[in-house]
Structure 1
């Protein structure tokens, strides 16, 4: 790396406290550079290619290992497909969390291009790549297009950020913004966490969790794994426990919703049999069992809603309660007047 390039990187970053990775230019291809704060991200491995630069490292603040993928896609559709296949193969061979960003040289929709021809086959291949790799786009605000030619008559949305699902669960409410273009034909795109950080959040536990048979075992097993690292600060241990409980309750609620739906469907089926007089004693017994199961599953959901409503009332104060009471009284009055 030449001293001139290091000087330019320092002028871009603003100080000398940075680390970087680079793919050198080849012919008309100008190369790719990634720069980061070594106190925020610690690199582990680097993979270089003509069209992507991948850095695997530790995201210190979020305590997660992640692959940072800086891309500059080729122009022709044949080369693009080969490029996407190469990225897909890399992701399949290196399991982990991914953040992908850069110039993809393709749009997903016809509305994302103005002044130039839209190629549906290119968009289809790109959208298939996104779906097959379970990528989620970061919504972008600001300017509509990220690229404009010098004549100002061709514009496209070529630059994007994508993440894998676990990144969204660790860092929620990620948003992006397309900023003013400056002297380049591409606008800078920045991502940020919209949620304001008021410090460590509380570990909220719902009363219904204690009615689930696997709750205590989930906490005990998770803490046994987390507590192995004695040097890990307590707040970090609680953050990891919170993440595991979040995953557990999400899966539990999805499973319970599926069971509730199945129970209701079967109850309705037996109701028809009872109504027509074709139900057996076993059908009636199963009907009673399913009704109890339905009530049990519905109770868990109701307990969560009740606890959430109480929290909301405590936060918003008596104003919300008075408004609710007035609304309730009006409805009661209307019902009485109809009678």
Structure 2
């Protein structure tokens, strides 16, 4: 089979040994794969896959099941999407059957490829770890990203008013159209977020610099600051008196390195609480652009340019989509 691998800062569509399907696993003929910032980091050699995970790029994909291992309830021909620790940007992938969900009714395989990583990330961090309750206010940094786009929609669906920080006025308008109450353009100054706070939960993929200090200031009493990335660097200076006085909880969270059972439980919860909202039209995967997998360098450059609102998706097998 062919697969996309990061090689010395670029990507190559190369030959790779075909995969065997074991007990409890399914083999998927890949139609499309979502592109995430983690893939950019892995290509650059900064984010290696967890031990035992595939070195092939791709944390999510969609496709059609072509083989089913013993003990799995899936059927050959089922249209599915899956959350992965790696391996999604290939002609086929073998995955734990518990990490697979059906393509929501009414959605294409391209749309389905843009769902698993971002919606699983949002559900885990906002609703499971932070325990978001209806009516609580949410702040999303990088609100027009794939994760931000998913978070805005989920918060709207579950009754949580949401504000964002973004990189341009166009991206702010995009977030408002998705359901955000408002927000700020970071080049105009983040301090304007004070007009909308305090916030019960802050979802933060940026981390360092002025963001960390601001998050503590913006957090409500008993607020939860969920740190999921370090786009702004790993160093920060905090006023610990504010953390203490407000009883702010700082939650560091990653998904890729979680064990198989954790991911199985997360996907089960996602299927129960979130999947019906796609079929009802209350959630809509935000596919900004698609690229052929053979044009992956252009896709990676598009995401790295930080101008994308929503998700970039690679088309692996055009005959399926």
TM-score (structure 1 length as normaliser): 0.21
Larger relative strand fraction: 2
RCO comparison, higher one (Cα < 8 Å, 6+): 2
The structure whose Rg is larger is: 1
Larger relative helix fraction: 1
